[in-house]
Each structure stands twice: as C-alpha cells, then as structure tokens.
Structure 1
Amino acid sequence: DGKTGDGCGLLLKKPRAFFSRVAAENKIELAPLYAVGMVFLSQDTAHADRARAQLDKELSQEGLEVCGWRSVPTDKSACGAVALRSVPHIEQVFVNAPVAMSEESFERHLYIARRRAEKALEPEDDTFYVPSLSSRVIAFKGLIMPDQLPVFYEDLREQDMSASLAVFHQRFSTNTWPELRLAQPFRFLAHNGEINTIRGNRNWAVARSFKFQTPLIPNMEDVRPLVSASGSDSCTLDNMLEVLLAGGMDIFRAMRLLIPPAWQNVDTMDADLKAFYEYHRMHMEPWDGPAGIVLTDGRYAACVMDRNGLRPARYVITNDRHITLATEIGVYDYDPADVEVKGRLKPGHMLAADTATGELLLPRDIDARLKARQPYRKWIKARKKQLKAKLENEPLTHTPLNKAKLAVYEKLYQVTLEEREQVLRVLGEAGQEAVGSMGDDTPLPVLSRQPRSLYDSFRQQFAQVTNPPIDPLREQIVMSLEVSFAGESNPFEEREGFVTRLVASSPILSEGKFRGLLDMKEPEFRNARIDLGYPAEVELRDAIVDICDRAVAAVRMGKVILVLSDRDLVREKIPVHALLATGAVHHRLIREGIRCNANLVVETATARDAHHFAALIGYGATAVYPYLAFEVLNDMIRSGEIPAGDATLIGINYRRGINKGLYKITSKMGISTITSYRGAQLFEAVGVHREVVDLCFTGTPSR
C-alpha cells in the first residue's frame, strides 16, 4: 500500500531527561534506579488488562515495584492499511529497583519476570510483546516506512528525547513474513544477513538448555525455552545473546561464543587467542551465515562481522568523537573536513565503543581482553587429545570380509556395479567425486520402480535470495571439518576440567581411528554399542523406539560415545536404516534433556558417497565409520579392479574425496564449519511419510 514496511526500529540508550519529565507529568515516582518497558498490548480491553496484570504480578514476584503505566502517544496516519490491521495498543511500564540492587541484578530480574509473563500469556494472547524492558535502553519499532517512525511515535519528536547511542534497522524480509514483533532492532541487536544453521542452532539450544546453570538465574525453568522456535533467525540469535548476558557473560565473550571468526586454519593468529576460540567451540557451535550485526547493552555499542565478511560495515569517526557505523558511507550528514577516521570492518572482526569511558575498542583491544580471561592455552595443552590411527601404513580394513559374505552385505545394502565403478572406485583412485553432467532425470524414489536408498529421498537445501554460497576451493581457510568427542559442559563456568576433548580432523573415520576411539579408557570417552538389527516379526516403529530407549539408558549410565552399528549381521534380524536411527536417537535425546552428554558415531554400510555422510551429520552424527565402503574398495584392490592399489593410499583418497564433497555441500548452504552443519537438518524430505518424519526427522519440511 506504499506505507506499510517490512519493519524498522530504533534502540536508544534510555533518555533520562525525557522519562523524568513524562513520569512527573503522569505522577509516577521514580527511584534512582528504574526501568522503562515498551509493551505491545491487544486492542481488546480484556486481553490488555490481563496482560498488564500478569506482567505486574511477575515483576512484583521478583521484588520489583511497578510504579505506573503510561499510554504511548501515536499517530496512526503513519501506518498503511496492512499495518493498521495489526497495530497494537502501546504502553510503557515504569519499574523501580530496590535500594540495594545493582544495575546488573536489576536487568536480570526484569528478564526473568518478562519471560514468565510471556510464557503465561503466550497460549491465549499473541499480541502481547515486550520490545524492551530495561534500565538501560528503550526500543521503538513498527511496520512503517523509516521516515514515518517519528510520525507514528510522537515521543521521538520531543526535544528532550536525546541519547548518546542509537541502533537503527530497516528490515527487508526475505525468509519470514513481515510481522511487528520481528521488526528490528531486537532487545540487544540488529542483524543484516541470514543464519543458515538456524534450525540446528534452535535444536541445540533446546538440548543445551539443561547444561545452562548459573546462580544468577536460580531457576532456569523460568526462562526456558531459551530461544523462540517460531521467530526469525535474527530474533532467535537475540534470544540466545540475552540468555548469555543474563547468565553473567560479558557482551564480548557472548558474541564470540556465538559468532567466532575463522581461526582453525589461520596460522598467524595469536596462540592464546586461538586457544580462547578452541575452548569456547566446545560449548557451542557457530551460528553460521552472512552476518553484519550491530548491538548494544546500553553501555557498549558494538559491531560484529561474520567470518567471511559477507555483509558490509563501514564506519566514520569525526573530530567531535561521534562514530557512525552502517552498511554504507553517507548515512549520517557530516562535513568531510570533520572526518578523523574512515574504515570498514574486516571479516570476523569486532569493533566497540564504550559510552561510559568514551573509549573506542578496536578488534585487537577486544582480542586482548578475551585471551587474558583464563590460561586457555595451558588448559588445552594439558587436556586436549588428537584422534589418530595407531598404524602409519593403515590397511583399509583389519579383518576383510570373504567374497561370499561381502556379496550378502552388498545385496542387503544395495551396492550396485554402477556405484562400485562410478562412485567408490573414482573416490579411491582420484580422491574426488566423479565429474558428470548437471541435472538428475531419474524418477523420485517414491515414484521409482527400482529400490532406492533412503538418502535419495532427502534433497539438500542451498543458499539463495540474498545469501551467497562459499567457494570451498578458494575460501577453504574459513572452513573446517574438525569434530570433537566428549560431553558438553556449562558455558557459564570456565574450568580446566571442561577442556577434556578428543579431536578428529574430519567426521569420516578410518578403521584405525574408529578402533582408537573405542579403545579410549578415560571416563570422558566411555562408549556403548547399539545394534540396529531387529527381529523380522517386530514392527519398524517399535524397533526404532527400542533403539532410542537403549540409547537413553546408555547415556544415563554415563556412556559418552554411542556407536549406532549395523555391522554384525545375523540371519534372524533386519537392520534399521542408519539415517532413521540417527535422527530418531538425536531427537529423543534432545527431548530427554541429555543430548549434550553424548556423541553419536555411526558405524554403517549405508554411507558411501558425500550426500550420505552429509545426511547422517545433518541429523546429529558427530562421526561416521563407513565400513562397507572400505570393504568394497579392499575387494576391488584384491580383484584387480583397482590396479596395483596401495590400500593405505586408496583409503586416504576415499576419505579426502568425501571431505571435498562435504566442503562442497556445506559451502553451497553458506556454512563454514561441520559443527554448525551437524544437526542443522538442511534437507527437504520428498515422499517420506509424515509419521516417519515426526519420529525420526522432527522439523524437516516434507512433501
């Protein structure tokens, strides 16, 4: 309609002079430490009254005093016809802190009260929303054009509405439908970009919530779920940042936990700084994708770039100590003669301004703060182990199958002559996937007359719209396939004992590395083998549930490495497909609240090309041991199909080829690290029954 926008907003440092005046005009008595909340209420009076009462109740329960409410003056002529259909009744709530309460504690109590109110009202009132409730900042947002923001919010035209810090955002909605609550900035940040791993990040946030323990939030159940499952990717990122800050993290550590720079392959990075990132990657996977993020907690104004630098961020500092940072130069009018410094933020960098001290924190200043927090390098040197094969000239398989048994395995797991020649042989000889023409004119598995692998029913998603893929050949320095084994620990605590990890350079295990993993004697790496076979008279659903039950029991007994295996065939049993088992166990452990205590390692005959491995990892596997692929390659050497083959070299080539395939698959989705891809479920199921999807692939789109 020409007036309704996708959303825009302002996040301001609290204008004290303005709120002191309007509080006095409304006969509201403010304490020295007070908060103002911007609250969206229903136009229905009954719903609005209930929401107001619920928020009052939760704030009082936290020991805070609600000293008054104020109706925010608005001019609806700024709204288009579409925006008018969803415009809420907007009020401000004023909250006083007790005399002895610190500002940090006050913010935390406000957060807990707001989360409880949201959870209580969510089932019946979808209008209730709190854009901000803070003693430090205030948010104004709407589904209007940016120049209409001060028209709609009459307060923004007042002379004493002044602030030393402002975050502005104009939204172009590419992934979610425009909605008022999704307008940015959120409570802390504004985001230009996409979080490509968002589905996995949300799943891991649910799984990890049981690891989040801090005395600052005595009852974590008050704030669970930690992130929104229905909002935008930016909204979810803001939710997670809010939890980390409420739990006691500073803004720099929290953002570097969520969006680290590329560090694994950067040899020039300071060793202590690299150790900081290595320690923190054990607590959380990167929230990966193109991102230019500006944020504030009311004191610091900061900007963070993703590791690839796929969004622009340019800044100007003037002689009068004003800094402007935006996606382009010229957002703020200034005299060129007043410019002191111009620049752009580089990939992976973070810049911040401290409004309390007037200090500008350059990337090197922030890095110096982070690496000095703890002796991370010393901890990692003492506790980190590298998973390596014991033999230098490692055979493909230590106990090769004979011809007859191999034929049984090949028939059961659908290894065709075409796959032997055009997939496995090429990978083993060349160390890369076969080159072929683009396109796929074979029927969908659900319509095919030929038996097809379950993996063929899953189509990979890829980056699109404003979301660029990564070049896995020329930009591999920002990518990593490194995985680690061990249970996760509480991110709010930093201790040497949390560093104990077994690290592998790739999720594709040789037999030597697989045996080495199972031979680990430390309690942090105790393993349990879960057989995927089931009797023919048992229904498949019951077999999958039984596998999940055994996995849950093993984790509760302290097992950390769960090996899902279809290897030892017996005549009386049928194997559950490894992908079904992996997805089902992954989601069951999440629901049980113990997913982060275990790693899933899949010992399977079904995984042979890069897509198979990507699917298993995408549904929760930490590593895969493809024993049948090695057996077939060994047989091809033995029979002369691979002439004069060196078994060790063939195995290395095969794993190298699969690694290249994984780089290609993750890069086309704009994802840099395999840990971000793990559990991200970046697939679409085609022709898979909803009952199967709900049990094994929860949340996957299905057609």
Structure 2
Amino acid sequence: CDPASGDGAGVLFGMPDSFMRSKAQELFGAELPPQGEYAVSNVFFPPHNSTALEDCKAIMERLVKERGLKVLGWRPVPVDNSMLGRDPLDSEPVTEQIFVVNPGKYNNREFEQELMRIRKVTEDEAAAMLGPESGFYINSLTSHTITYKGQLTPEQVAAYFLDLKDPTFISHMGLVHSRFSTNTFPSWERAQPIRMMCHNGEINTLRGNKNWMYSRGGIMASDIYGDETMQLLPATSDHMSDSGNFDSVLELLTKGSNRSLPESVMMMIPEAWQDNDNLSDTKKAFYEYNSCVMEPWDGPAMVAFTDGRYIGATLDRNGLRPSRYYVTKDDHVMLSSEIGVCPDLPDAEVKIKHRLEPGKMFLVDFDTQRIVPDDEIKEEVASMRPYAEWVENGIIDLETWVKTDGMPRSKMDFKLTNKKLNMFGYSTEKLEMLLLPMAVGGKEALGSMGNDAALAVLSEKPRQVSDYFKQ
C-alpha cells in the first residue's frame, strides 16, 4: 500500500469569479461577461499523447461554435506532482481549462442546457475516437461551479492544484470528497465530487437502475432538446462507478427538464412514503406518481449535491450513513459524514448542531440566503403539479379493477385438474412439498436440503415458465 497513492479526492467550488477574471485578462486580454454568462471547466487529456489532446480540443471547439457560443481560449492548469505515488503518476492526465462565453444568445438556464449538450456529445465523439476509458474527461462544464479533483489523497489536493493557493481564488461554497474505492478501481476521472454531487455509501440497486434507464431510453423525450434528446443518451454506463451513474442521471433530470435540483433528488432518493402516516397526502401523491417514473436509487447512502443555486444533502430512507451539520453564529454552514472535521471550531461559535435524519433533506438556497426546512421544500415541490389527480386517474389498482370491472371467476371443474396440472408442468413433489403447506398454513414451506436441479435455461427437461425467472 503506497501512502502517496490515493483513491481520489477533490473539491467542487462555486465559480471563483475574481480569479477567473484575472486569468482571462492575463492570458487572453479579454474581459469576461457577468457571472453566469461564461463557463470554465477543468478538462483531463490523455497523458503523453499530444495528437489526442489537439483532436479532443478541436471536437470541443467545433461543438461550442455550432451551438452559437464562443471559446475564449485554453489555459494549462498549473500543478505540482512531486508528492504523487507511482499509480496516480503513471496515469496523470494533462489538465487544461476551457473558457466558454455566452454572447447573449441564451438565458442562463438555456446556457446551462447547451453546455451539458456540448459536454455529452464531446465525450461521445472522443470515446468513439480514443475508446471509452482513454483518459479524456470533462470534469464539469457549467457557469456556476468548477471541480478540482484527481487520483489524490485529501492532503494532496491543495498541494497539487496550485490555483488553490492563490489568494484571489475565493468561493462561497465547497463540496469536498475523499474516495474509498469499493466497486471500481481508482482513477483520475472517478474521483469525486462529480458534476453535481458526491456520495458516501453504496447504491445497491445499481444494476436495476442502469437497466431501467437504458430500457426507457428509446421512449425518453425532452421538450427542451426535442428530436435531439438522443444526444444525451445513454445516461448510464458500465465504465462509471455507482456515484458516476447517479450523477449522470441527476444531471439529466435537472437540466434535461424543468425540474429543480431538489425535485430530482426527491425522485431518485425518496423517503419512506408507503404506510407512513406522518407524510402529507400531497407528498405521498408525489412519491407514488414518481415511483412509476423512476425507481429509487436505494442503498446505504448520504448524497451531497449542488447546482450553484442550491447546496444540500439527503440521507437514505433507513439512515444507514452518518450525516451531521453545524451552523455557526456568523452563518457559516458545515455538513459532513464524520464528526470532528473541524476540530478547531469552538462550541461557543456554534448556533445549531444537529444530525440529518433518515430520508430527510438539508438544503441551503443561495438565492434567498437561508436554510430551507425539509418539510417546506418538499411540500413546495409536491404542490407544483396535480400529482394526486394524476395518481387517481392514471394508476389502475388490480384488486379494485377485479371487483368493479374484472371478469367473473369461472367455477373449477375438478375433472380437469390432473390434465391442467400436467399441462402446466406441476409435479407430485411440487404439489406436496410446496403448494400443500401454502394452502394449509398460508405461508411458504421451509426446507434445508437445497435445490440441485439445473437452472431452467440450461436444463434439457421441460420446465414451467416461472422457473426461468430467478432473483
């Protein structure tokens, strides 16, 4: 184990406007437009491959121009790699910043949507040219935030990126993450924060979530992108970690539609709403409707998220990850998955100290400059559309349908019992060992001998249709 080789660490900052203005003036002799009308992104290029670097730049510049935006220039990001271990040093990318300006063609939300399109199409074209894990990676491309990350230890982040030592590098927020690789190997691009979130925990339903996102891709449509919606798909990939897939879907929901970031997070990580008498009917209707649109990304997880306007965190419905927050008397807000992150903070300076509860959301709104209570933001989101009406008119309950409109059940002709049992593949063993205990006791039979029968798909014997489906 090399202590100088980290699994990944980084910080997502609110755009450091004064710093970026000084660099644009220094390098390009240009005055940046007002904040929100330009974007700066850290881009990783494959190491020791100048041809790939120029080709990827050309792709990105062409796509920026096609969307009516302007590339102001590229800036090599100064780094100090003297403290890196062998593994991160061997795969260390070339990092450069691209400055993209909105010449007034789009409002801010449209600008963000075009930036996402440019990033997605650039990545697809670069992957087609270089392969899916070539080392080319766009850390973020937005007017509100910028991410500095890599295959580093937490202590190495500020030492590696020399920008972070500049006294003019000032930001109103930071999303900080240190990665411990479990399901995927460490790499520069898999480090977190990603584009809109960072994550402590695991998404246990990942395979199902990815399959469902891929399956519905053929009918997915966005009023914003119209016939070009397919440029944003697929939203998930086997080359990304569980956090990477979550982030990609979160960004698609937030920027590919008119949903807000809190609404998208509520869809993906719903609180326990079924049989929950403490929830309002409005919120229950929201969760029930959206359960038909998006399966929960479930597992022990604390997810922190931001889009520049909001920064917040939510905890899984079972509360299987720690999360605590402090609010100081001078209105600094700190939330962490560990206690003691700021050991020098005296208790006398703390105004509020609390833990994030299961299924709850902690949210700071920079536009209104306040902490928004969980109930307030969720009631606001749930009240935006007539979810209760949609659930009432759109969901068919089978039991209710059978009672009202269903076909009457025909009487059983016991003379045909053996014939039907043979037709559907029921054996004497299945009747006596499985069905009889269910009929008598109302529960499944328990056995301890195991089942050494061949899987139905590999069996040479005829099997029931249900045998082909196993969890």
TM-score (norm: length of structure 1): 0.62
Q: CA deviation at 1:431?
A: 2.4
**Residues 115, 328 of structure 1: CA spacing in aligned structure 2 closer, same or farther, 3 A cutoff?**
same
AA of the residue aligned to 1:81: R
- Equivalent runs, 1:369-408 vs 2, <5 Å: 369-388=380-399, 390=402, 398-400=410-412, 402=414, 406-408=417-419
AA of the residue aligned to 1:157: K
AA of the residue aligned to 2:209: N
Q: Distance in 1 between matches of 2:181 and 2:9?
A: 11
Unaligned runs of 5+ in 1: 446-452, 458-539, 541-573, 578-604, 619-682, 684-703
Equivalence for 1:104: 109
Q: Distance in 2 between matches of 1:127 and 1:398?
A: 64
- Matched position secondary structure for 2:273: coil
**How many residues are matched?**
458
Q: Distance in 1 between matches of 2:100 and 2:220?
A: 28
- Matched position secondary structure for 1:134: coil
- Equivalent runs, 1:411-422 vs 2, <5 Å: 411=422, 414-422=425-433
TM-score (norm: length of structure 2): 0.91
AA of the residue aligned to 2:243: S
Equivalence for 1:41: 45
Q: Distance in 1 between matches of 2:281 and 2:457?
A: 41
Q: CA deviation at 1:116?
A: 1.0
Moved over 6 A (4+): none
Work out whether residues 327 and 351 of structure 2, in 8 Å CA contact, stay in contact via their aligned partners in 1: yes
Q: 2:198 aligns with which of 185, 190, 194?
A: 190
AA of the residue aligned to 2:189: R
Q: Deviations over 1:225-284 (max 9, x none)?
A: 122232111111111111111122111111111111111111221111111112222211
**Residues 4, 139 of structure 1: CA spacing in aligned structure 2 closer, same or farther, 3 A cutoff?**
same
Equivalence for 1:350: 361
> Percent identity at matched positions?
35
Q: CA deviation at 1:140?
A: 0.9
Tell me how large the CA RMSD over aligned residues is.
2.6
Work out whether residues 34 and 97 of structure 1, in 8 Å CA contact, stay in contact via their aligned partners in 2: yes
Q: Is 2:323 the counterpart of 1:301?
A: no
Q: Distance in 2 between matches of 1:415 and 1:386?
A: 30
Work out whether residues 79 and 143 of structure 1, in 8 Å CA contact, stay in contact via their aligned partners in 2: no
Q: Distance in 1 between matches of 2:140 and 2:15?
A: 11
Work out whether residues 8 and 142 of structure 1, in 8 Å CA contact, stay in contact via their aligned partners in 2: yes
- Matched position secondary structure for 1:79: coil
Q: Distance in 1 between matches of 2:196 and 2:17?
A: 19
Q: Distance in 2 between matches of 1:327 and 1:428?
A: 49
Q: 1:310 aligns with which of 295, 311, 320?
A: 320
Q: Distance in 1 between matches of 2:278 and 2:232?
A: 41
Q: Deviations over 1:600-646 (max 9, x none)?
A: xxxxx543xxxx5xx74x7xxxxxxxxxxxxxxxxxxxxxxxxxxxx
Q: CA deviation at 1:289?
A: 1.5
Q: Distance in 2 between matches of 1:229 and 1:48?
A: 25
Q: Deviations over 1:301-336 (max 9, x none)?
A: 010111111111111111011111111222124111
Work out whether residues 88 and 187 of structure 2, in 8 Å CA contact, stay in contact via their aligned partners in 1: no
Q: 2:72 aligns with which of 67, 71, 84?
A: 67
Equivalence for 1:178: 186
- Equivalent runs, 1:28-427 vs 2, <5 Å: 28-29=29-30, 30-32=32-34, 33-43=37-47, 44-125=49-130, 126-218=134-226, 219-247=228-256, 248-332=258-342, 333-388=344-399, 390=402, 398-400=410-412, 402=414, 406-408=417-419, 410-411=421-422, 414-427=425-438
Work out whether residues 164 and 355 of structure 1, in 8 Å CA contact, stay in contact via their aligned partners in 2: no
Q: Distance in 2 between matches of 1:5 and 1:456?
A: 44
Q: Distance in 1 between matches of 2:268 and 2:29?
A: 40
Q: Distance in 1 between matches of 2:412 and 2:29?
A: 82
Unaligned runs of 5+ in 2: none
- Matched position secondary structure for 2:234: coil
**Residues 83, 444 of structure 1: CA spacing in aligned structure 2 closer, same or farther, 3 A cutoff?**
farther
Q: Deviations over 1:361-410 (max 9, x none)?
A: 11111122112202322443344442227469x9x97353645x544554
**Residues 76, 409 of structure 1: CA spacing in aligned structure 2 closer, same or farther, 3 A cutoff?**
farther
AA of the residue aligned to 1:31: P
Q: Deviations over 1:446-487 (max 9, x none)?
A: xxxxxxx51799xxxxxxxxxxxxxxxxxxxxxxxxxxxxxx
- Equivalent runs, 1:381-530 vs 2, <5 Å: 381-388=392-399, 390=402, 398-400=410-412, 402=414, 406-408=417-419, 410-411=421-422, 414-437=425-448, 440=450, 443=452, 445=454, 454=456
Q: Distance in 1 between matches of 2:15 and 2:439?
A: 63
Work out whether residues 315 and 329 of structure 1, in 8 Å CA contact, stay in contact via their aligned partners in 2: no
Q: CA deviation at 1:185?
A: 0.7
